[in-house]
Amino acid sequence: MTRTGQVAGALRARIAAFGSLEAWLSRAVWGMLVLGAGVVPVDAEPADRGGTSVPETPDVIVVPESQPWLLAIASPLIGRAGRQGQCPLLLATSPVGEEESRVLVAEVAPRRMLVVARAREFLAWGLGGFSPEYFEPRATLGETSALWAKRFWGTAPEIVMASRDDAEAVILGSALGAQLAAPLVIYDARDNESALPALLSGLGVRRLLVATSREDSLPSWASRIASHSELLGREALLERTVKAIGAEKVRTVVLARLPGEEETGQTSWLAPYVSAVRGAPVVLCRSASADEAEARVNGLIGSCRLRPRSVTIVADYRSIGTHEVKVPAGADPSRPEAAMGLEPCLPDRFEATAWAGVGRIPFAGIEEASTLLARGLARRRLLAGHAPRAVMVANPILGNAPLPLCETVSRLTAAEFRNCRIAIDEFYRRPADSAEVLAAAKSANVIFYEGHIEHQDLFPTKRSRAYGTGSGQGGAPAGDRPGGAPLPNQARHGEAIALDGVPIVILQTCGSLRTSVLKQVYASGGVAVIGTSTPVHSTSGSAFAKALSDGALYRGATLGEAFRDARNYFFCLQDLKKARAHEQEGKSQRVALSFRLWGDPELEFFPEPRNDPAIAPVSAIWSGNKLIISLPPRRLPEVRNEEYVARMFPGSEAAGMVLHAEGESARRVAPFYFFVLPVPKAFAAKGPAGITHGGKPTERVVFRSDPLGRFCYLLYYPSGEKPGEPVILEFLEQPRRSSG
């Protein structure tokens, strides 16, 4: 069934409750006019609804995309609701509404739905079946925001105010209000200053926080409102927001572009909403420069002593761009030097270590961005009670360029899912658009595609097969590039399949991150896409996908954390190759930098709690200056094809390196053990003087420290370990300097 069919089915079921279609339409329209059919106005004074009780917070709030200021007014209410339980979903849409927005509302089936508009403006949505309430905006933002505060707060001893002509202050003030559970009131110059006390009468305001980006003196209108007013400039707003959250609780930083000319930065109006639901401060930059964006995030982290695990970019690439880096080909002449765009807040030097998982909501339009965010936030609710499922599609068609080593690593990834008692459907050497593949993908929560891009037919697009040009985009046209123009409202390539599993889609293939692919995933019901911005080596790419999924399966990592750790695994792998004089560093470098995440980095692979694995994974603990690696009692089931064989312990990683086993015609895939561990005090500051195994120095271990000092990444290349036997590595301390 198409997504259109889903909408129609859901709405038909609701219409049936009202009798015939004609009767329903008549009742819905008349109800909107005379307050019948459950359509209740919520813009009256509290006394008009029986006393001064504050109404219950809605499950879904819909605002017109054409009035983005309303998003800022609504976000503090969502922040307050988050303290009391589940946050409402916030959608910005047109009166007609995109199909994806209407599908989401039908799937969520809200018990209470609020539309911030006149009822007649949303008739085309067919919302009568949901019995929504309507909050009608007034002529000015001052009136609208004051009435909103009265309606949903009743009394508010503390409020946040900002001027309508200062968008930065409104957005940052809204984020602060979301954390303080205090309403945002927007001063509108169309409101007479002398009328402000009347607008806010009944709220009982005693303390006013005035948000500004200009560091001005207190505006004259502020003195008319409360006995105590405090002016908060840009830095003070950020610091106060972090204080309200708690610096130790900040897990992501929201990065957006201030609204500007030529429709740039429009999705920044969603930043306070993300702040509300994720407990995150908001950083706004004034240009498309990745350097400026990164500097502002780093400045906040330094001044407030934060240690976030992710950065959430709510901006298309025209609003906030990327760093351009070049990745050498190494010793592989088939892959030329690749130029690629690197997201802000990711290291552009191979010697540096990633401190955050960076996820981007890359839509330019507010409606698409809000729907993608809301769908991710609704994912747990939509999948409640459903057993997790995954699907693996790899090496789909042999043709003239089979990928047996890539397929072997893909089979290892699938084995890890089975070990964690997660159902996974596997398809190798079959067309990606075959009926059985599409049927399995329909209910999957995670979808892997690993193979040649010309065979990626799960989400078909217009593709160029001309790779290796050095353009860094795999031959993609300019309008279809991850780092190029903003996402257009382009026609879909083919019919979108209905993905009921609300999946995360991992496309391990050359240049897979294209706007047309994201459109397909979005239209199908997906919540995130992980893919590459350049050509990559297939086996190294599959190893990246395995490292990413292992982080989620065995460490419970969020999508952003797993993405960050997989990148750092490849940085460590590069260090190991250098230490062992390996000749093909370019493969690891290219893969480490090419993958990107389009979606909310705070999402989880599977909303349901993780299952205990059938076989415990490889693990490690510190004992003083010794690292004890524990090996499971047995390995995963053997993976084999005509050229390669793999016998690995659960949680082991691959890298495309193979060994020639004696008496075997097939080559064995070499395993690696990768750990994310607390930094041992013995060498937290200086690092170890050396590492030994069995009393002898070893070059089989490399490690990197997290730039924010939380943990270290350690990679060990084993040699002949047996099941159940521990491996003990000793880290030698640096000699202490003599005080004499």
Pick the residue with more confidence: 235 or 194? Answer: 235
CB 625 within 8 A of CB 690: no
Structure tokens belonging to residue 331: 């010793």
Q: How far apart are CA 60 and CA 557, in angstroms?
A: 28
Residue 472 pLDDT > 70: no
Query: 559 pLDDT exceeds 60?
Result: yes
pLDDT tens figures, 91-116: 999 888 788 998 899 899 899 999 99
Q: Please, what sign has the CA dihedral across residues 32, 35, 39, 41?
A: positive
Tell me which residue of 307, 180, 323, 177 sits closest to 253, measured CA to CA.
307
Strand ranges of the sheet holding 673-678, from the earlier edge strand across to the other edge: 673-678, 711-716, 701-705
Q: In this predicted structure, what is the pLDDT of residue 192?
A: 80
Mean pLDDT along residues 117-138: 82
pLDDT band at 585 (very low <50, low <70, confident <90, very high): low
310 has a pLDDT exceeding 60: yes
For 349-364, what is the mean pLDDT?
93
Do residues 64 and 137 make contact, with C-beta atoms less than 8 angstroms apart? no
State the Cα torsion 459-463-467-469 to the nearest 10°: -130
Residue 32 has pLDDT above 80, yes or no: no
Position with higher pLDDT, 183 vs 663: 183
Q: pLDDT tens digits for 204-215? A: 999 999 999 987
Say what the pLDDT of residue 30 is.
33
**C-beta of residue 531 within 8 angstroms of C-beta of residue 480:** no
**What tens digit of pLDDT does each residue of 407-435 get?**
999 999 999 999 999 999 999 999 999 99
pLDDT given at position 128: 64
Percent of the chain whose predicted confidence (pLDDT) is above 90: 59
The pLDDT value recorded for residue 735 is: 65
C-alpha dihedral, 493 to 496 to 499 to 504, nearest 10°: 20
The tokens for 92 are: 């910005």
Task: Return mean pLDDT, the chain.
Answer: 84
Can you read off the two tokens belonging to residue 499? Answer: 């993905």
Helix (H, G, I), strand (E, B) or coil at 230: strand
| DSSP H or E stretch at residue 431 | none
Left if phi > 0, otherwise alpha if psi is -120 to 50, otherwise beta: which for 652? beta
CA-derived radius of gyration, the chain: 27
Residue of 480 and 718 predicted with greater confidence: 718
Q: What angle do CA 669, 673, 677 make, to 5 degrees?
A: 160
User: Is residue 25 scored above 90 in pLDDT?
Assistant: no
Ramachandran angles phi, psi of 545, nearest 5°: -60, -35
DSSP secondary structure code for residue 459 in this structure? S
Pairing of the two strands 711-716 and 701-705: antiparallel
**How far is the C-alpha of 28 from the C-alpha of 535, rounded, in Å?**
54
Report domain extents, the chain. 3-280, 323-598, 619-732
Q: Report phi then psi at 294, rounded to 5.
A: -65, -40
Number of residues in the chain: 740
DSSP state of 2: -
Q: For 695-723, what is each residue's pLDDT tens digit?
A: 888 889 998 999 998 999 999 999 888 89
pLDDT of res. 398: 67
Whole-number pLDDT of residue 224: 77
Confirm or reject CATH 3.40.50.1460 for domain 323-598, answering yes or no.
yes
Q: Does position 257 have pLDDT exceeding 90, yes or no? A: yes
Contact 355, 251 (CB under 8 A): no
